A and B are shown apart, each in its own frame.
Chain A
Amino acid sequence: MKNRVRVVKRPQLSFLERWYLGPVVKGLGMTIKRFFGVLTDVLFRWENKKTAITMQYPEERWDFKDNFRGAPALVMDQEGRSKCVACQICEFVCPPKAITMWPAELEDEDKVEKYPERFEIDMLRCIYCGYCEEACPEEAIFLVKEAEIVYADRESFVYDKDKLHAMGGIREDRIMKWKDK
C-alpha cells in the first residue's frame, strides 16, 4: 500500500502573539464594547435593542425555523379529513415506541378502508427525531414548531387524536383519496 502519511506543518506564532498581550487587549476591548452596548440598550432603546441578547421569556419567544423539529402532530387536508390511514409505519419506525394506535375499518366507505380509531403519542417518550414524518407514506404526520410541553402529571403528556389534529392543522393536498380513487 502506498504511504499516505502527510506531514502537516504547525503554524508558527509571531513574536507578538507569543507575548499574549495583544490578544488579551483585543478581548478586553470586546468586553468593554458590549458592556456599553448593553448599557445603552437597557437605558435608552430596550424595544429595539441592538446588543443585548437576553429574552424576556415567556412574554418573548423564539420564532423557530421552518425545519424545526418539535412535537409530532397529525395533519388534515383542506376538507378537514385526517390524512392518516393507520398504516402503523410510524408506530413501527418510532425508536422509543411513543406512538400507539388502534386501527379500524371505515364502515360504508369503499374508497378509504382503514383509519386510526385511536391514535396516541406519548410526548414524554418522543425524542423528536422526526422518523415518523420521514416514514409516513401519506404525509400525515409532521413535526411542528411546538417545543414547550409541560404538565404536572404524566397522563397529560399522552396526546390523543383530536389534540394531535388540532396541533397539526390543515395542509393542502392535491390528492383526495376518498374522492378520486
Chain B
Amino acid sequence: MSTNGKTVNVTIDGKQVTVPAGTNIIEAARHVNTEVPHYCYHPRLSVVGNCRICLVEIEGWPKLQIGCNTNVSDGMTVFTASDKVREAREGVMELLLINHPLDCTICDQAGECKLQDYAVDHGTGLTRFAFDKQKKPKNVSWGDKVVFDAERCILCTRCVRFLDELCGTDEIGIDFRGEKVSLIVRDDGQLTSPYQMNIIDLCPVGALTSRDFRFKSRVWFMQFANTLCTGCARGCNVVAGAREERLLRMVPRFNAQVNDHWMCDEGRLNYTFVNDEDRLVAPRVNGKDVPYDDALARAAAILQKAKEGGGGAADIAVLGCASPFMTNEELFSFAGLLDALGVTERRFAIPMGEGDDMLLHPEKAPNARGARLFGFQDAPVDAERDWDVVVHFAARDGGGLPDDLNAKSRIVFSLQVDKNADVNFPLTTSFEKDGTVISAGDRLQRVSKALTFAPSHLTERVVLDRLRGLIEDGYQGTDTAALALARIAQEHAAFEGLTWTGIGLQGVSLQLAEAEVGA
C-alpha cells in the first residue's frame, strides 16, 4: 500500500468515509462498520481473489467486483448489500457448499466457522446439486500439530500463502485439477515450520484442525479470557479458552505492537502445566495441609523472628527469591514485605532458551523486566552462606535456587508440593489471576483470569499482603489487581498515571531507564 498520505472520499452503502488512497473495499467498509464477507482475503497476506464471496457493486461499473482486490478511488460509490450483490453471494455460497461434507457435527471449527456464519447470513439454505458429492481424503495428518480434511477445504490458499510469504518455508501447495483439486504438503507430507499452527486460525473453515485441541471441547462450552502467552518474554496477546476450570487452548489475539495476528507453536502448546493433577491446592505446614490462617500465622512467626533479628544483618540472614513468572502487583507486594523486614538480599533467575527473529524470545518467562524494576537482582545466590530464612517463589520448573542451599526455614510458593518447605503456599499460574507484566520492549500488558483455581484459594498477592499486615502494624493490602496497580502508580515513576482500564487489552509502552530493567 503506497499511500503517500493521500486520501480519497468514498460512499459505502450511503455512508461517506475518507480513507487513505490504496485501501481496498473490504478495509474501507470496516471504517463504516460494514463487514464485506471474505474467505481468502487476509490483511497480512497477498491478495489472490479466489473465493469470490466478497463481490460488491460499484456505481458505473458494469459487473460486480471483488472487494479484496479493488482499491477505492475518489468519488466511488459502493453497494455491499444490493439485490445484485445478494444474489451473487447466494450463488457463491451454493457453489462453495456443493461438495462440502456437512459434518459440522464432528467438526471442531463449528461455532467459529466462516462457512457456517456466511451460509446463515448470505446463503439460501438450499442446494440444487442432486449428484454424489466429491470424496476426498479426510483426517490427513500433516505432522504432529495439524490435521487436514480435504473435503472441508474451500481452497482459499490462506495456509499456502502464510507458509510461503510469512514463514518462508513454502510447504503447502495445490495439486490435481478440476474437482479433484486439493492441497498437498511438500516432501514427506509433514509440516516443519515452528509457526505452522497459525494456519489453523487462518483457515476460515474446519479444514485445518489442531491435533492438540482436537475434540477436547466444542467452542460454545468454553469461557474465554483475553490474556497473554507466558511462554517467553514477548508476551503474545492470546485468547485463552477453558472449560470446567481446565485450560484447553490458546489462540492469538491481534495486537499490532506485539504479535500482530500470530503466535509461535511453542507458546501455544505451553499451557498443560495449568491442568496438572498434582498441583498444590492448599497451604502446608511441615508437610500437612492446613487452613490459610494457620499457614499465615506460622509464616508470620518465622518472619517476625527474622525482623527482630534485623533482616539481612549478620545475625539473621534472610533471602527473598522472586520469580519472573510473577505479576508486577505480586512483585510489588513481595518487595513491600521484604522492605518491612529490612531484607536486602533479593534475587531471581531467568530461564533461558532458544529465540528466533520472528516472535520467540530467548527469555522463557514473561516478567523478568518487572522483577528487575521492583528491585530483584538477576544474580546467583550465595550458596556458601548459611541462610536463616528463605522466602522463595518457585519458577514453573520449580527452580530458581541452588539445590544445595543451606536454609534453616523456608517459606515456599510452588506449583507442586515442596518437601523442604516449612510453610508451602500454592502458586497460581498467570491464567488463574489478574495482573500486569512487562513484556519485551518494555510493554506493560495485562494478564487475566481464564479459570478459577481452587475455590478457597488466596492469591499470592493477598497472602503477601496479609503476611505484611501480621508483622507490620496497620498495613492494609489491596483487594484487586487494579487497586494494587493504582498503588504502584503512586509509588513508581515509570507507572505514573497508569490505570487498569488505561492499559486496556493492547497494553502500553513504558519509558524505563536502562538501569532500572537491565538489558
B106 CB contact (under 8 Å) in A85, A91, A110: A85
Q: Are A103 and B215 in contact (CB under 8 A)?
A: yes
Q: Are A105 and B105 in contact (CB under 8 A)?
A: no
Q: Are B105 and A85 in contact (CB under 8 A)?
A: yes
Q: A89 at interface (Cβ–Cβ under 8 A)?
A: yes
- How many chain A residues touch B (CB < 8 A): the figure is 17
Q: A85 to chain B: which residues have CB within 8 Å?
A: 105-106
Q: A69 at interface (Cβ–Cβ under 8 A)?
A: no
Q: Are A92 and B218 in contact (CB under 8 A)?
A: yes
Q: A98 at interface (Cβ–Cβ under 8 A)?
A: no
Contact with A along B100-139 (1 / 0, CB 8 A): 0000011000000000000000000000000000010111
Q: Are B221 and A137 in contact (CB under 8 A)?
A: no
Describe B's contact surface by its main secondary structure. loop
Q: Are B221 and A92 in contact (CB under 8 A)?
A: yes
CA distance A85 to B106 in the complex (A): 7
Q: Are A89 and B221 in contact (CB under 8 A)?
A: no
From B215, which residue of chain A is reached at the shortest CB distance?
A103
Q: B396 to chain A: which residues have CB within 8 Å?
A: none
Q: B487 at interface (Cβ–Cβ under 8 A)?
A: no
A87 CB contact (under 8 Å) in B106, B137, B214, B216: B106
Q: Are A111 and B138 in contact (CB under 8 A)?
A: yes
Q: Are A114 and B215 in contact (CB under 8 A)?
A: yes
**Contact size range, B:** 10 to 19
From B105, which residue of chain A is reached at the shortest CB distance?
A87
Q: A104 to chain B: which residues have CB within 8 Å?
A: 215
Q: Are B220 and A105 in contact (CB under 8 A)?
A: no
From B218, which residue of chain A is reached at the shortest CB distance?
A88
Given the known interface contacts A85-B106, A87-B106, A138-B105, the answer about A110 and B215 at a Cβ–Cβ threshold of 8 Å is: no
Give A109-168 interface residues, CB cut-off 8 Å to B. 110-111, 113-114, 137-138
Contact with A along B196-223 (1 / 0, CB 8 A): 0000000000000000001111101100
CA distance A87 to B215 in the complex (A): 9
Q: A71 at interface (Cβ–Cβ under 8 A)?
A: no
Smallest distance from the beta carbon of B108 to chain A beta carbons, Å? Answer: 9
Give A73-94 interface residues, CB cut-off 8 Å to B. 85-89, 91-92
Q: A89 to chain B: which residues have CB within 8 Å?
A: 105
Smallest distance from the beta carbon of A178 to chain B beta carbons, Å? Answer: 12
Given the known interface contacts A85-B105, A138-B105, the answer about A110 and B214 at a Cβ–Cβ threshold of 8 Å is: no
Q: Are B105 and A110 in contact (CB under 8 A)?
A: no
From B106, which residue of chain A is reached at the shortest CB distance?
A114
Q: Are B139 and A86 in contact (CB under 8 A)?
A: no
CA distance A137 to B214 in the complex (A): 20
Q: Which of B105, B138, B217: most chain A Cβ within 10 A? A: B105
Q: Which of A110, A113, A138: most chain B Cβ within 10 A? A: A113
Q: Are A86 and B215 in contact (CB under 8 A)?
A: yes
CA distance A110 to B139 in the complex (A): 6
Q: Are A105 and B215 in contact (CB under 8 A)?
A: yes
Give A40-74 interface residues, CB cut-off 8 Å to B. none
Seed contacts A92-B220, A110-B138; 4 additional CB < 8 Å A-B pairs: A88-B218, A92-B218, A111-B138, A137-B105
Q: Could you tell me which A residues sit within 8 Å of B by CB distance?
A: 85-89, 91-92, 103-105, 110-111, 113-114, 137-138, 181
Q: Could you tell me which B residues sit within 8 Å of A by CB distance?
A: 105-106, 135, 137-139, 214-218, 220-221
**15 examples of A-B residue contacts, CB within 8 angstroms:** A88-B217, A88-B221, A92-B218, A103-B215, A103-B216, A104-B215, A105-B215, A110-B137, A110-B138, A111-B138, A113-B106, A114-B106, A114-B215, A137-B105, A138-B105
- Top 3 nearest A-B pairs (CB, nearest first) are A87-B105, A114-B106, A103-B215
